[in-house]
Structure 1
Amino acid sequence: MLTGKQKRFLRSKAHHLNPIFQVGKSGVNENMGLQIEEALEARELLKVSILQNCEEDKDEVAEKLVALTGADLVQVIGHTIVLYKESRENKQLVLPS
């Protein structure tokens, strides 16, 4: 679980990132979860955008992604979700305590 200070730090780091995944009409599935999990291992922090044709609520999509990937939800803002998961082999970010 992330503290407020850690979330603030991660939000500042994620500000300049572009979304690398999109959730569309088909919603979230296991394959997408696996791909996002692999990307999190490589990057630790990423954005996922929710397209307008997505039939699920953005908070529901965020919950599903967190459940599938084991990542921490940093923020849901507009149609963008920011996820963080500490990398086991490719650690890049040092969170404040």
Structure 2
Amino acid sequence: MSLSKKQIKFLRAKCHALKAVIMMGQKGLTDEVLNELEIALTHHELVKIKLSVDDREVRKQMIAEICEKSQSEEVQSIGKTLSVYRVNPDRAIIELPSK
């Protein structure tokens, strides 16, 4: 699933008011973090994640890994904060604008 620029802009506006639901520690992307991310994405669809990695290259790799393993789309990444989106196939919570 890929998002159009219009949809990303819409989701960025929505995630502005969100607080980080998941905090990733120094251990990185553990099974526990993935389980919590799965629960949060299923329940909210749009989730903000706080990363505690200082190195930009490592952070980029971690963002790619998070999106791949959770099957979500990166909406926005500012500093150490990442916003991801994944539609809930059972019940869509956020109604995206058409592409």
Same fold per superposition (TM over 0.5): yes
- Judge conservation of contact 1:41–1:90 (CA < 8 Å) in 2: no
In the alignment, which residue of structure 2 is the partner of 1:93? Answer: 94
> Structure 1 runs of 4+ off > 6 angstroms?
none
Question: How far 1:30 sits from its partner (Å)?
Answer: 2.8
What TM-score do you get using the length of structure 1 for normalisation?
0.89
CA RMSD of aligned residues (A): 1.9
In the alignment, which residue of structure 1 is the partner of 2:4? Answer: 3
Number of residue pairs matched by the alignment = 97
Q: Which runs of 5+ in 1 are unaligned?
A: none
Q: Which runs of 5+ in 2 are unaligned?
A: none
- Judge conservation of contact 2:21–2:47 (CA < 8 Å) in 1: yes
With 23-32 and 61-70 compared, the bigger mean Cα shift is at 23-32
Q: How does 1:8-87 map to 2 (within 5 A)?
A: 8-52=9-53, 57-87=58-88
Q: Match of 2:10, as an amino acid?
A: F
With 22-31 and 69-78 compared, the bigger mean Cα shift is at 22-31
Q: Match of 1:28, as an amino acid?
A: L
Separation of aligned partners in 2, 1:62 and 1:79: 10
Q: Name the SS for the 1:57 alignment partner.
A: helix
Separation of aligned partners in 2, 1:24 and 1:60: 15
Q: Match of 2:9, as an amino acid?
A: R
CA deviation string 1:62-90 (max 9, x = no partner) = 11111111011111111100000001223
Separation of aligned partners in 2, 1:67 and 1:20: 19
Question: How far 1:53 sits from its partner (Å)?
Answer: 6.5
Question: How far 1:52 sits from its partner (Å)?
Answer: 5.0
